[in-house]
Amino acid sequence: MLLEKLNWRYATKKFDSSKSVPADKVARIVEAARLAPTSSGLQPFEVIVISNHALREKIQPIAFNQAQVVDASHLLVFAAWDNYTADRINAAFDLVNAERGFVSEGGENYRQMLLNGYVPRDAQVNFEHAARQAYIGFGLAIAAAAFEGVDATPMEGFDAAALDELLGLKAKGLKSVTILPLGYRDAANDWLVNLKKVRRPLDKFVTEIA
């Protein structure tokens, strides 16, 4: 079922700009990213959902003029934490304690280990770690879009610093890492839609040690 959906999806090159993804579908796509597992459960990223057309017109030149940004109906921006801070780590652990209704010694020891390990660490190292977690959510959002019959284009081709500036992400301690236009394919005008999906053969992808 999942494999069928992954085979259905492709990096849409041309969206039908007359069609819009219903809000409930967008919500379930975002929910998949929210449910994504992340290292120590910190969820070190956020998602910005942009349907506003004027704003997407401003983003298009930042994204090498790729038309998907405006032809799709929604643009998801995945933005990772720029650093791990004590406040962010404590908020995550406090939330777990509040939601589960108890404090455990093991959990508190683990919190201290992360505070001691992450907070003094170089911000760039922490950002790279957070960015990887964002990619788990990104992958699950892409899968979720396929389950909704929604087309999507995973995109790294944009000027992250310019997008952060436009969206005010720096003030929020966030850095954009990927964007994902959501919409419906314009099959008649999409050069990629009918081309074979190509992946490295299994024997060059997997090694089994039995």
Residue in 100, 103, 108, 170 binding a copy of itself, rule: CB under 8 A: 100
Interior angle at CA 85, CA 81 and CA 86, nearest 5: 145
67, 60 Cβ separation under 8 angstroms? yes
Tokens found for residue 154: 């995973």
Give me the least distance between CB of 55 and a copy of itself, in Å please: 6
**110 is an interface residue for a copy of itself by CB under 8 A:** no
Non-local (6+) Cβ contacts of 147 within 8 A are 5, 28
Give me the least distance between CB of 115 and a copy of itself, in Å please: 16
List 11's β-bridge partners, or say none.
152
Tell me which stretch binds a copy of itself (CB under 8 A): 14-22, 92-100, 114-122, 182-190: 92-100
**11 is an interface residue for a copy of itself by CB under 8 A:** yes
Interior angle at CA 53, CA 51 and CA 58, nearest 5: 115
Total binding residues toward a copy of itself, as defined by CB under 8 A: 63
**170 is an interface residue for a copy of itself by CB under 8 A:** no
Identify residue 103 by its one-letter amino acid code: V
Cα 84 to Cα 40, 115, 120, 125, 130: the distances in Å are 12, 9, 9, 10, 8
**85 is an interface residue for a copy of itself by CB under 8 A:** no
CA 57/CA 183 separation, integer angstroms? 16
Residue in 109, 120, 122, 209 binding a copy of itself, rule: CB under 8 A: 209
Tell me which stretch binds a copy of itself (CB under 8 A): 47-55, 65-73, 114-122, 181-189: 47-55
190, 13 Cβ separation under 8 angstroms? yes
Among residues 99 and 120, whose Cβ is nearest to a copy of itself? 99
**154 is an interface residue for a copy of itself by CB under 8 A:** yes
Among residues 67 and 136, whose Cβ is nearest to a copy of itself? 136
CA 29/CA 70 separation, integer angstroms? 19
Give me the least distance between CB of 186 and a copy of itself, in Å please: 18
The helix-helix angle for 86-100 and 105-118 (nearest 10°) equals: 170
Q: Which residues bind a copy of itself (CB under 8 A)?
A: 1-3, 6-7, 9, 11, 28, 30-37, 39, 41, 43, 46-52, 55, 92, 95-96, 99-100, 128, 131-133, 135-140, 142-144, 147, 154, 156, 177, 195-200, 202, 204-210
